[in-house]
């Protein structure tokens, strides 16, 4: 059981890293939202989203990850980014 406990500790550290990366991604999304607002751009960019999905699905396949699961994950991540950008629009219009 010690081996399992040590491996779980490694997973916990990886999870912390993932959360920190998601936080950084969210912060960058807010900056992008500000720039889009300044230039009168729409928040959603379907072409960019399609490019992102195609890239991560290809990379997932190369890494031996399930592309369908990765797509679901990235749908959530992109939704988080959209909300982050929307929060910038909302806060500036108050």
- Taking the model in full, what pTM does it have? 0.88
Using alpha carbons, select from 85, 83, 61 the residue that is nearest to residue 71: 61
Average pLDDT for 20-24: 98
Strand blocks (E) in the chain: none
CA angle centred on 7, ends 5 and 8, rounded to 5°: 65
Question: Is pLDDT at 93 greater than 80 in this prediction?
Answer: no
Taking the domain 2-92, which CATH number applies? 1.20.59.10
Delimit the domains of the chain by residue range: 2-92
Name the token pair of 49. Answer: 């989203």
Task: Grade residue 94 by pLDDT with cuts at 50, 70 and 90.
Answer: very low
pLDDT value of position 91:
65
The beta-carbon contacts of 60-63 under 8 Å, at least 24 apart in sequence, are none
Dist. CA 31–CA 85, nearest whole Å: 8
Interval 37-90: pLDDT, tens: 999 999 999 999 999 999 999 999 999 999 999 999 999 999 999 999 999 976
């Amino acid at each position: 059981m010690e081996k399992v406990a040590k491996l779980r500790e490694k997973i916990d550290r990886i999870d912390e890293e993932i959360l920190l990366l998601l936080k950084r991604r969210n912060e960058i999304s807010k900056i992008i939202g500000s720039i889009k607002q300044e230039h009168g751009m729409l928040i959603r960019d379907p072409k960019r989203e399609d490019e992102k999905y195609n890239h991560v699905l290809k990379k997932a396949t190369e890494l031996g990850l399930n592309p369908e699961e990765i797509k679901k994950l990235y749908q959530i991540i992109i939704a988080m980014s959209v909300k982050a950008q929307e929060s910038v629009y909302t806060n500036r219009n108050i």
